[in-house]
Structure formats: C-alpha cells, structure tokens
C-alpha cells in the first residue's frame, strides 16, 4: 500500500495577478512618480472577491497593494473576479470571468468607478 499517494496526484495550483485601477474622484490624483496618498489608500477600500463560476460562492478575497497590484494562488478551475464594498452603493465594476490552469499565471485587471461625483 502506498501512503501519501493523494499528495503525489495533487494538481499544482495556478496564479491570478492583475492591477486594480480606481477611477479618481479628483481631476488629478496621479503624481509623476506614482499614486498620490489618497489614491494609494483607495486600493485598500476595494477588496477583490474571487467567486465560483456560478457567482454564488466566495472562494477567496484579495486586497491590492499600495500600487494597485494583486496576486492569488488558486486551484485550476473557472472563476469570476469582482469588487466588493457594501458601503459604496454606487460602486461600478464589471465582474470578469477567468480560467486558472496548473503552473500558469493569468492576468485580470480591474477598474472600479466609485460612482460618486
């Protein structure tokens, strides 16, 4: 009998990476060298949720770093990436479907419009 065979047969994960762009409420929030402090803090206010393919089950949550970059390790499968912030009722972002394959990286960028003018 071979012990630990399920570990040997495990499928390696894949990776999701991307950039979160938060549309500015101010006309100029970008500095020449990067994002302003206000824009940097904004990324943390828009947690990304990775949903099952049917969109009914949260698989993981990801928060972008101060530059808007994010990365997650996931098992192979089909998912939906969305933005979740219940406090912002006017939030607009387009959920995006993506597929993870073993040992591969898929890039999915998100743009968020807070909807407050």
Query: Quick one: which H or E segment has residue 73?
Result: strand 69-74
> Percentage of the chain surpassing pLDDT 90?
49
Radius of gyration for the chain, computed over Cα atoms and rounded to the nearest angstrom: 17
1 assigned to some structural domain: no
- Residues 31-87: pLDDT tens digits? 444 444 444 446 777 889 999 999 999 999 999 998 999 999 999 999 999 988 666
> Percentage of the chain surpassing pLDDT 70?
68
25 is in which domain, residue-wise?
A: 12-112
Report pLDDT for 45: 77
Report pLDDT for 8: 56
43 assigned to some structural domain: yes
What CATH number does the domain containing 77 carry?
A: 2.60.40.10
pTM of the model: 0.75
d(C-alpha 31, C-alpha 53), whole Å: 38
Give the contacts of 102 (CB within 8 A, at least 6 positions apart): 11, 12, 13, 14, 76
Token pair for 1: 């009998």
Report pLDDT for 17: 98
3-state secondary structure of 38: helix
d(C-alpha 22, C-alpha 116), whole Å: 12
Report pLDDT for 90: 66
Confidence of residue 7 (pLDDT cuts 50, 70, 90): low
3-state secondary structure of 4: coil
Query: Per-residue pLDDT for 5 more than 90?
Result: no
Task: Give the chain's domain count.
Answer: 1
8 Å CB contact between 58 and 51:
yes
Confidence of residue 113 (pLDDT cuts 50, 70, 90): confident
100 assigned to some structural domain: yes
């Amino acid at each position: 009998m071979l012990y630990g065979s399920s570990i040997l047969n495990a499928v390696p994960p894949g990776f999701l990476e991307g950039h979160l762009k938060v549309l500015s409420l101010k006309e100029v929030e970008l500095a020449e060298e990067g994002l302003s402090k206000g824009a940097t803090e904004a990324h943390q206010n828009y947690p990304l949720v990775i949903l099952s393919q049917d969109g009914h089950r949260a698989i993981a949550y990801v928060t972008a770093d101060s530059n808007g970059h994010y990365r997650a390790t996931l098992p192979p499968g089909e998912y939906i990436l969305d933005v979740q912030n219940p406090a912002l009722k006017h939030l607009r972002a387009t959920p995006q479907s993506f597929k993870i394959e073993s040992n591969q990286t898929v890039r999915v960028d998100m743009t968020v419009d807070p909807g407050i003018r």
